[in-house]
A and B are shown apart, each in its own frame.
Chain A
Amino acid sequence: MSGLALIASYPKSGNTWLRAFLASHLHGGQPIDLNGDLVRIRNVTGRSLQDRHAGLEHSDLTPNEVALLRPLSSRRIARQQPGLYKTHDSNLVPPGAREPAIPADAIDRVVYIVRDPRDVAISMAHHFGWSLAASVDRMGDTAFCIGLSSPGLNMNIEQWVSSWSAHVESWLDAGDLHLLPLRYEDLLADPPGHFTQLCRFLGLDDTRHAVSRSLEASSFTALADQEARTGFRERYAASTAPFFRKGGAGGWRGELPPELAERVACTHRRVMARFAYR
């Protein structure tokens, strides 16, 4: 593998599930420690990784400077530390920059996970401690960023996420990427089938026995039980629910007020139709 192999998604779309699967799969399907083993698939926007490759501290830079710096650092990481990484970055050019944070020439391949935005809205509200309405607003906000440091240091650096629709299209319509799109709902409906596809795409062991072992180690129950016992380092401080909350599809039907569901459908109609989210 040369360059960055990315597990990319809008936040709360199943990225951590894939990381948990891969963390186990890379170690022969062994059980994983949530707080120790997920670093096998590191966040490419982790602060210490980025600071090291940039040769300075991002906490001393403005968001514009970070946007200018990130493509340069991405190329360095791709060259000096290639491998599997997760990201919530969009594949868009942030304001003030000239290219996306992770330019195509730094990328080896991309797994892109897409999830029904109405389920994402609920999950994001719990994760960030927002109201459902605020969550829906952010998903339509083309200026949405995460990784901001205020009032204290964020362990990730700034990521230009943009709106849910723009995020999805920026990756899936890039044209110059070796890309595997996966629907979260399909992963849930047929884990063996789709995780086998994932393994094949990443050049990993795709035998049935190996895939099912790793799936077991990263099952929702296994992850949620472990979080209940030991906590999860990546859980956001302001969260109003466990990180591994439900892990299902279609929960929005019971939890999202109809007017908000309608607002999501209205804002993201075109992209939702592409993925048959009705």
Chain B
Amino acid sequence: MSVAPLTDGLLCGWRIRSAIALPELLEWQGDDRPPDLTVRLGDVDEHLPEGRTLSPFLEIDGTGTGLLQVPEVGRFLVRPSGGITIAPQPEASAAEIRLFLLGSVLGLVCHQRALLPLHASSVVIDGGAVAFCGPSGMGKSTLALRFARRGHAVVSDDVCVLDSGGPARVRPSFPRLKLWRDAIEDASLSPEGLERNRRGQEKYHFLEPEAGVRDSLPLRAIFLLRRPERGEVEGIERLSAPLDILAALEAETFRLPVGRALGTEKALFQARTLIASTVPVYQLRRQPDAPPERWLDAIAAIVRG
């Protein structure tokens, strides 16, 4: 049986040709360049011949090739040339494969290209990208969802990719948010009909297909979501000490050890320095279980200046 070839997609400015459907992505409408990234299905060996273990499920070799193995999803071989081969486990769902392709693998691709990936959800406010960083459970995706419901386009979920060079710009990834059932229901939405993040899990993929962004955007602001520590009150405060900002941005770098292993630390440091000197970085202290609604106007007002 022959199937119509899938159209190429747009991911962080790259042309991606994929053997599996990627409904998260906008269609490629750029020039007729060859694909920057190519996703194939095929056999992948259990280990890289010269690889070293960087983290329990990830190996990297001297050429910068990475091998990610997720036991119940499959193996992802990621070459610096942009060739990605996936050997899925038979029981893996399409959503599970895309979860890692558009998450860990995307992070690896950024590090192979010396681009800074921030662990952030981001939305468009006033013509620029506004990124929300912070530990899991602090409400990055939830804030992005609330802005999306108010008509703001979603620029990224987990991985927010910074362009190289100045001024600081974001390469939009895709308008999908990973959300737990409680966050979806708190926003008066239903998880019914949404794909599950993993089988049996109460975490879903919420897609705003009309809300995608095609071109890179200036990075307008970063909000670091934090829980108030003792004696602190809820609120938004701009960070002023460059060293604090640099340390925070380092901590918010997606898969930092991968960049180190690939020797891109200098480029990442330059990208963080550029942000620290040109983009306002705020700390948003709030209780993670408090309603996010009250912060939306304040965030938008600060960004609009």
A interface, CB within 8 angstroms of B: 33, 35-36, 47-48, 51, 53-57, 59-62, 64-65, 68-69, 72-73, 76, 149-153, 155, 237
Contact = CB atoms under 8 A, between A and B. Distances in A.
Interface in B239-261: 255, 257-258
A61 B70 contact: yes
A237 B290 CA distance: 13
Given A60-B197, A62-B201, A152 B181 contact: yes
Interface residues of B, number: 34
Given A36-B230, A60-B100, A62-B200, A151 B182 contact: yes
B104 interface: yes
B56 A55 contact: yes
B198 A56 contact: no
Chain A CB count within 10 A is highest, among B136, B197, B258, for B136
Given A36-B229, A55-B55, A155-B137, A60 B103 contact: yes
B202 A150 contact: yes
Contacts of A72: 56
A61 to B, nearest CB: 7
A103 to B, nearest CB: 13
Chain B CB count within 10 A is highest, among A56, A57, A64, A65, for A56
Contact of B136 (A33, A57, A64, A65): A57
B269 interface: no
A76 B137 CA distance: 23
A69 B180 contact: no
B183 interface: yes
A176 to B, nearest CB: 23
A48 B135 contact: yes
Given A35-B230, A60-B197, A55 B182 contact: no
B180 A149 contact: yes
Contact of B255 (A55, A64, A155): A55
Contacts of B103: 60
B57 A69 contact: yes
A36 B229 CA distance: 8
B99 interface: yes
B20 interface: no
Given A65-B72, A150-B181, A151-B181, A59 B56 contact: no
B192 to A, nearest CB: 14
B230 A153 contact: no
B136 A152 contact: no
Interface in B66-96: 70-72
Interface string B108-151: 00000000000000000000000000011100000000000000
A147 to B, nearest CB: 13
5 contacts: A36-B229, A48-B136, A55-B255, A62-B198, A149-B201
Kindly list the 4 A-B residue pairs having the minimum CB-CB distance in the complex, ordered from nearest: A55-B55, A72-B56, A152-B182, A151-B181
A153 B137 contact: yes
Chain B CB count within 10 A is highest, among A60, A153, A155, for A60
Interface in B151-182: 158, 180-182
A61 B255 contact: no
B202 A151 contact: yes
Nearest to B258: A55
A149 B99 CA distance: 18
A149 B137 CA distance: 11
A54 B57 contact: yes
A68 B89 CA distance: 16
Nearest to B139: A153
B41 interface: no
Contacts of B266: none
Nearest to A65: B71
A16 to B, nearest CB: 18
A153 B141 CA distance: 12
Contacts of A47: 135-137
Contacts of B71: 64-65, 68
A169 B187 CA distance: 46
A54 B55 contact: yes
A149 B56 contact: no
B194 interface: no
Contacts of B304: none
Contacts of A53: 55
Interface string B194-211: 000111111100000000
A43 to B, nearest CB: 14
Contacts of A57: 136, 158
Nearest to A73: B56
B296 interface: no
A245 B119 CA distance: 39
B54 interface: yes
